Structure 1
Amino acid sequence: MIRTKSSKTLLSLTALGVMGTALLSGCSSAGTEAPGAKRPEAGGNAKPTDISIMVINYGTQFADKDNFMWKEIEKRTNTKLNVTWVSPNNIIEKTNVTLASGDIPDLLYMEDLNQAQFRSAVSQGAFWDLTPFLKDYANFKNVPAYAWENTKINGKNYVIPRPYPIVGGGLFPLIRKDWLDKLNLKMPETVDDFKSVLKAFVGNDPDGNGQKDTTGYAATLGSLSFFYNLYNDTNGDWKLKDGKLVPIMTEEASREALLYIKGLYEDGLISPDFSVLKLSNINEALNSGKAGAAGYSMNNGWRFTEELRKTKPDAAIVPLSYLKGPKGNKFTIATAGYYGAFGIPKKVPEEKVRKILAFMDYGYSPEGNNLANYGIKDVHYTEADGQKKTTERFNQDLLNGNFQGVWIQNNIDLVTVSPGIPKEFYELNKKIYAEREQAAPKDPSIGLFSEAQTKLMPDLKKKVDDMRVKVILGQEKIEAYDAFITALKNDANLVKITKEMNDALAQKNK
C-alpha cells in the first residue's frame, strides 16, 4: 500500500479513500457484498447517483473531474462526484463554517468528532444515525471493530470512520541504524539510552566528514511532545489516577519530562530552534544526512532511506519499537484507531443514504481498496513476488497520495509500507509494528466528550506549551513553571473541563 504524506488529490477516491480513507486492499470483492450493498452497475438504465463530498486533502495538486481515476471510480460505482477539497491548515474552520451555513454536503469529513458544532448538530438530529443500516453492507466488516466503537456518539454510529492503525503513526522517533552500527551502538530502549545515542550522533562524527556538524534529534515542538505521554505512561491528554481522569499537563511526571527535554536542549542534542521549526525543516535535515533521528510515522523510514541511498548506499533509517520511561514501562504512541470520519446530513433522503453507503462500502472492499491505493494493474502498477511497483502513469494520474486509503484487510500496511519499499524493510516494519502493539498504553479519554474541553483546552494547552518552551530555552526557571502549574490546577476552566470529562467517564461506565 502506498501512502504519501500528501494525500490529496483524488477524487473519487477521495471519495473512496477520502471516504474512507479507508479503502484499500487487494483483489476482487465479487461475492462479498450483502444484498443492500451491491455495487451499482455502471451503464444500463441505472441513473448515476450524485454525491457531494467535502474532505481534507494533503496534496499540492488536487484532482478534478477530468482526472482518469476520478472517472474510473465514478464508472465503477455509478456515481457523479462533486468533491470539495480542503487544506489541513483550515479544515476545522471550514467544517465549522459549513455546519453553521446549513449547506452540508452529502458526505462531510470531520477531522475531530469532538468539534462542538458537530456535536450540537448531531444532538439536534441534523445527521443520520447510521447504526440500523450498517449491517446491510458486508465490506464494512473490514473496518476494525475498534474504529466503529471509538467513533460512536452516545452509543450510536453517526459516522463512518476512516480506519487508522492504532500504532505506527504519530511523531515517534525514526533513527539512523547505519550510524548506530558505525558507532557500535545498540538500538536505544530507555530514555537514558536515547540520550546517550544522541550524544554519540552529535559528538562522534557519524557521517565521517571530520566535523561536528550533525544533529541528534531533528525536532519540532510537536515531535517532542511524546515524552510527556511516555513519562505519564498514557496516550492522549488524560490519565487515570485512582479511578479519575486527570490532565497530564499538571502532573509531576510531566515536570520530569520537561526537565529531560531541557537536558537534551542544553546538551545540544536537539535542534536549537525546535520551537519554530516546521516539518519541511525536519525533512531537509534527514534528506541531507545531517540528522540522526526525527519523529515520523513508521512508513517514512523507507522514504528517507531511499533518498539517502542515492549518495550513501548503506544508509538505513528505521523506526524505534518503543522507549522505556523512568519506571521501566514500554511506551509508543497510539491512536484511537481512526483518523477522521464521515457523516451524512439528515436532509439526504433515506434512499440516497443507502446509495451513499453502498458507495462507501465499495471503498472498503478489496477491489475498491486496491483501486484507490494502486489504481489498475499493469497500468498504474506491476506486481511480482507479492510486491507492487508503481509506474509513471501512477504519478500522472495523481494516485500518489490522492487515492490511497487504509488497506482494510491488512491495515497495518498504511504505516508499514511506502512506495517501492524492499521486502526486508517491509518485514522489519511488520516486526516493529507487532512490538509496538505490546508497548502502547491506551488513551482513557477515547469516546468521551466535554464541550468545555473542546472550547477551552486549546488555549490552556498553548499557555502550557509557551511556558514549557521558556523553561527549555532558559528564559524561565523551573520554579516559575511550578508556580504556573499550581495556579493552573485551580484554573476555573481546567476545573470545569476535568469535571465534564469525569462525568462523561462515569456515564460511559454506567
Structure 2
Amino acid sequence: MQRKKISFAILSAILGLGTLLSGCGGNEEVTSTASGNSQGQSGQFATKMKISMFNQGTFNAAAPVPPRDEDVQRQMLEKEMNIDLDMMIPQAGQATTKLNTLIAGGDIPDLIFLKSRADLAQYYDQGVLADLTPYLDQFPELKKRFGNDSWEAMSYQGKTIGVPGYDNVNGISRSFFIRNDWLKKLNMEVPTTPDELFEVMKAFTEKDPDGNGKNDTYGFIGGMNKEGNLQTYGFDSLMWMFGVNPPSAVEIKDNEPIFLFIDPKMKEALAYINKMMAAKVVDPDWVTMNSPDLLDQKMFKGKVGFMIRDARRLEPDYQQKMKEISGEVPEWIVIPPMKGPYGDQIVERKSFQGNSWAISAKADKDKIIRILSMLNYLFTDEEAYPNFAYGIKGIHWDVVDGKIKNKTSELSKEMKEKYLWVDHYRMPRRGDDAEYFSFQNPKTAEAFKDNQQYVGPTLPGNLLTPDPSDTLDADRTRFINESLVKFMTGKEPLSNWDNFLQTLDTKFDMQKYKETAIKQFKEAGLIK
C-alpha cells in the first residue's frame, strides 16, 4: 500500500530558507543510464562522477578524515562506483547549523545523512531534497535490506524521500537480569510468568539471599527520568508483560488506534506494580533513580536481585566494577522476559527509524542512480560488509577458521586511536550483528542473540507528531505520567481509574489527541 502524507509540525528553518529549490522530481518511471544493472557491480559506470556527502551519521564525529591514500573504505567506494567522494564530517552539536549554512549558500551536498524524520520532512518541504520514489524499484536488494517499518518512516506525502540511515540496535539495553546465585541459594527456578516473578522478588527481599543476616536486599529497582517519564527505566518493561506502556505507546489493531497507556490492561499492569510496592519488594531508592548511572551503581552494589539493564553489564569491565564496589562478582544471568496473561513476551519494541540518507533535489537522474547504487553497495554487498561494519582487514577483523572474527577489542589503545576514522563508515552494520560488538564475554553475545526473538515490531505511534493547535499536549502527557506513578505507588487508588480517564477527556481534551492520531494514521495509510 502506498503511504500517504503525514502531517508534520515543521519547525521554521533556522536561516529562513523558504522554498529554495523548485520541484522534487516527477513520478515517471526512471531507468538507469549505467551499463549493466543498478546493483552496484564493479565497472558498471563508465564516467567518473564527483559526489559530496554530508555525513553526520558517523559513529565518531571527533575522528579526522584521513588522506585518500590511507582511507581504505573511501578507496573501495570510489573504485566500485567510479566516483570522487568528498565526505564532510560536521562537528558534534554543529551539524544542523553547518548544513543550513551550506543550503543557504546554494551548496547543497549530494548525499545528506539526517538524524530525525522531522528534519527529513522539513528539508523536503523546503525543496532541498529529491523524491526517490521513481528510482527505488531498481534496487530490490536495498529495499529488502530494511524492514517495512523503516521504509514507512521514509514516506512523506505519498513519496519515499529517503533511505534508512542505519539499523537501530535492539535487544541489548533492556535485558532482564536476575541473580542466579540467589535463586540457587533459595532453591528457586528462573521465573517465566509475572506471578512467578513476584514470588521470586518477594523471596529476594525477605529471605536474606546474600546470607549476611541483615534485612538489606530487595527484589527489584527501577526509576524514572527527571521529567517523570517511566520509559526505559525498568517499570515500563514490567508493563510490557501486560502488553501496555507509558505515553506515546500507540498500537493499531483492527483498523483502530489503541492507546496503550490508557488501555484497560494498563490498569492490570499498575495493579501488579502496586502489589510490588505494597509488598516492599521494590528498593525505596527508586524515586531517586533518574539516570542510568544511578541504576548501574545499584547493580554494582549487589543488593537487588532483579533489574532491567544493558546486557553489556556482563562484560569484564563492568564485572570488575562490581568486584571493586561490592567485593564480589554476582552471578547475574540474562533471562527471557516473562510471558504475560495475554501472551505478551517483550523485551522492548523495535526502535523507530528516525535517521535517513537523503539526496539533493539538485542531483540529476544519473547522480541519483549513482548515489543509490553506492548505498546499495554499502548496505547489501556481503563481501564488502566487514570492511565497513568492522574496519580494515588484518587490523580490525580477519577470517579465522573460515569465519569472520572482529578483533577490534584486541587492539591496543594506540592502534584504536590510529584508526578512529573507520567509524565514519560503520553505518552498514546490522543491528543484530553480535560480531560487530566484539563482546568479550560469550554470555553477552548469547543474551543479545536470544533477546532478538523478544523484540516486538515498531509502535505506529512513533510516526505521530504533535498538532501545533493542541495547546494541551504537554500538560496532557505530564498528567498521564504523574497519574501512572500515583497509581503504581498507591497514592491514588486504582478504584479512581475511571475518574482519571474522565479527567483526561474533560480537562485535557483526550478526544483531540485521538482525532489527531486517527487523522495522521489515515494520511499515512495505516488505517482506512
TM bracket, shorter-chain basis: 0.7 to 0.9
Counterpart position of 2:56: 54
User: Which structure 2 residues correspond to residues 404-415 of structure 1 after superposition, within 5 A?
Assistant: 404-405=426-427, 407-408=429-430, 411-413=431-433
User: Is 2:209 the partner of 1:198?
Assistant: no
Q: Secondary structure at the match of 2:89?
A: strand
Q: Distance in 2 between matches of 1:47 and 1:276?
A: 53
Aligned residues: 462
Match of 2:121 among 119, 122, 134: 119
In the TM superposition, residue 464 of structure 1 has moved relative to its aligned partner by 1.8
Equivalent residue in structure 2 for 1:189, among 187, 192, 196: 192
- 2:310 is aligned with 1:292: no
1:257 paired with 2:269, answer yes
Q: TM-score, normalised by structure 1?
A: 0.72
Match of 2:237 in 1: 226
SS of match in other structure, 2:449 = helix
Where does residue 22 of structure 1 map in the other structure? none
For 2:174 and 2:481, locate their aligned partners in 1 and report how far apart those are by CA, in whole Å. Answer: 17
Residue 499 of structure 1, CA deviation: 1.2
Offset from partner CA, 1:445-469 (integer Å, 9 cap, x none): 4656664699975553233223333
* Aligned mates of 1:471, 1:99 — CA distance in 2: 49
- Residue 380 of structure 2 is aligned to residue 360 of structure 1: no
Distance 2:115 2:256 in 1: 27
Q: 1:388 aligns with which of 395, 403, 406?
A: 406
SS of 1:194 mapped into structure 2: helix
- CA positional deviation for 1:278: 0.3
Q: Which protein shows a greater Rg? A: 2
Counterpart mapping for 1:46-445 below 5 A = 46=48, 49-55=51-57, 62-66=62-66, 71-78=71-78, 79-86=85-92, 98=100, 106-113=110-117, 115=118, 118-123=120-125, 125-137=127-139, 140-141=142-143, 143-153=145-155, 154-164=157-167, 168=171, 171-221=174-224, 222=231, 223=233, 224-232=235-243, 237-240=249-252, 243-266=255-278, 267-270=280-283, 272-274=285-287, 276-296=289-309, 298=311, 301-302=314-315, 307=320, 315-335=330-350, 338=353, 340-364=355-379, 365-382=381-398, 384-385=400-401, 386=403, 387-390=405-408, 391-393=410-412, 395-396=416-417, 397-398=419-420, 404-405=426-427, 407-408=429-430, 411-413=431-433, 418-423=437-442, 426-427=445-446, 429-434=448-453, 436=454, 440=456, 443-445=459-461
SS at match of 1:140: helix
8 Å CA contact 2:407, 2:438 repeated in 1: yes
Give the Å deviation of 1:189: 1.7
Distance 1:453 1:303 in 2: 51
Asked whether the 8 Å contact 1:304–1:317 carries over to 2, the reply is no
- Asked if 1:463 corresponds to 2:479, the answer is yes
Q: Which amino acid aligns with 2:151?
A: E
CA-based RMSD:
4.5
Shift, 1:165, TM fit: 6.9
Secondary structure of the 1:330 match is coil
Change (3 A) 1:70 1:308: farther
Contact 1:246 / 1:498 at 8 angstroms: preserved in 2? no
Match of 1:272, SS? helix
Q: Which amino acid aligns with 1:412?
A: D
Stretches of structure 1 that go unaligned for 5 or more consecutive residues are 1-32
Change beyond 3 A, Cα 1:336–1:472: closer
Distance 1:455 1:80 in 2: 45
In structure 1, what is the equivalent of residue 11 of structure 2?
Answer: none
Q: Structure 1 residue 82: deviation in Å? A: 1.0
How many Å separate the matches in 1 of 2:353 and 2:100?
A: 22
1:264-308 CA-partner distances (Å, limit 9, x unpaired)? 344142462345420122233334444433334556555677547
Task: Give distance in 2, aligned partners of 1:95 and 1:190.
Answer: 50
Q: In 2, Cα distance between the equivalents of 1:185 and 1:417? A: 36
**Whole-Å Cα distance in 1 between the matches of residues 493 and 238 of structure 2?**
20
Q: What is the SS of the residue equivalent to 2:159?
A: coil
